[in-house]
Amino acid sequence: MTETPRSFKVITYGCQMNAHDSERISGLLEGAGYVPVPADAEPDVVVFNTCAVRENADNRLYGNLGHLRPTKLAQPGMQIAVGGCLAQKDRGDIVKKAPWVDVVFGTHNIGSLPVLLERARHNAAAEVEILESLEVFPSTLPTRRESTYAGWVSISVGCNNTCTFCIVPALRGKEKDRRPGDILAEVRALALEGVLEVTLLGQNVNSYGVEFGDRLAFGKLLRACGDVEGLERVRFTSPHPKDFTDDVIAAMAETPNVCHSLHMPLQSGSDAVLKAMRRSYRAERYLGIIENVRAAMPDAAITTDIIVGFPGETDADFEHTLDVVRAARYSSAFTFQYSKRPGTPAATMDLQVPKAVVQERYDRLIATLEQISWDENKKLVGTPVEVLVAVGEGRKDGATGRLSGRARDGRLVHFAADASAGLRPGDIVHTTITYAAPHHLNADGPLLSHRRTRAGDAWEAGRVTRTPGVSLGMPTIGTPPPTETPARSC
């Protein structure tokens, strides 16, 4: 009698890099004979792929582990695995705090998960395996891809920066760069399968090439993506202002499929705070980059990361941040209230800012950002827009009949669509903006055009590709509302 395959579910906390890793985890498990759990069933294996950048990530993980304990007791065959940055940080402490966890694995040994699960079952004991350095680049691992139209391609892992608030370099290690040929082969493979949009991923994409001695490698990579047939949109995240060079701006402006959207982390507009953060640029340099980007691409939508309440931040420092925000005119931002992370220099700094002060500043920042993003969006009313129809962006209520997608600049667009139009995720439509809100645009007029794509065909057919070395992400990575907080900030 054939044994019923064990089912799995992967729960992801954190940034795009973590979501990208979760695709690898799913691909590995499927390759080992596991199957995705049906929506109405309990999985045999639950994998938590964790983040460690903010304190609430710890609380969420241990809270969810606690909620799972009764289920685990009722289903002795269930296994729980914890991986990712928090696993790399806490290591054996996880099974001490939650002894019902079966496997703990780190950021450098994702590929070990199926073996660790089997070993834990055989030995009836927890398996903890944390490697200190990367042995196999994750892109060589199999992948379970959900989307047919938008993909993530990792160009590097790790980070060589030493920002005083960030624990990522300690958990992901020093930067490791993939060779350009390997990256482009993956991009071409995605395009051949009908993928329209690729986002190049790295902790600091602008330092790409440091390992093989080419400081201009990232700009060259962007231009090379422009030669990939069938690839319509190229994005990247995240750059670092200290490494951002004019050749990258030129590549963005001169390569037709590179989108005019840029996520440029600010963190603070105060030079004194930037110095304390060990961010090797200053406000004038930052705004100079923004000015150069807009000179080359007047339509560029720029987003950012900002931390409020970093140790030692004064009222004057915060006002400098507001000054930069007003000058930069962001379309949206990820915003953080500073929280201590053990193991970072900032956690032991003097002059920690009181919570009430941080909250007051944060509220003012949000109000300023919302007004700016609303004003910028209003400028687009009456203009035509190309929208990549997306799944997972959320559908408006049934009364409006709107669908959702992303414009080339990353803005979220809700657009009117007759049910008879036969739109699928991955199709391209052209429409006209009729209304602007701070975090989205509406297009309630008739569609100007609808182009059916191979990505839409694949979605309609229900195809899921499982191809080693190819990583396709969740729906199009776009810009969040200002109150949303990502798991990582560079």
Binding residues: 15, 51, 85, 159, 163, 166
Segment (H or E) for 336: strand 332-337
Tokens 């109405």, residue located: 40
Between CA 211 and CA 234 the distance in angstroms is 23
Nearest one of 406, 401, 400, 397 to 421, comparing CA atoms: 401
Q: Which amino acid type is present at position 292?
A: N
Between CA 386 and CA 144 the distance in angstroms is 29
Between CA 214 and CA 204 the distance in angstroms is 15
Q: At a CB cut-off of 8 Å and minimum separation 6, what does 295 contact?
A: none
Between CA 163 and CA 265 the distance in angstroms is 13
DSSP one-letter code for 395: P
Between CA 307 and CA 336 the distance in angstroms is 5
Segment (H or E) for 332: strand 332-337
Residues 379, 384, 385, 391: is their CA dihedral positive or negative? positive
How crowded is residue 463: how many other Cβ atoms within 10 Å of its Cβ? 12
Give the ranges where 113-216 is alpha helix by DSSP (H).
113-123, 168-172, 180-192
- Six token digits for residue 83: 């991986």
Collapsed DSSP state (helix, strand, coil) of residue 307: strand
Nearest one of 305, 328, 301 to 407, comparing CA atoms: 301
Q: 12 - beta bridge partners? A: 49
Nearest one of 42, 127, 110 to 77, comparing CA atoms: 42
Q: Which residues are annotated as a binding site for [4Fe-4S] cluster?
A: 15, 51, 85, 159, 163, 166
Q: At a CB cut-off of 8 Å and minimum separation 6, what does 125 contact?
A: none
Cα 118 to the center of its chain, rounded Å: 31
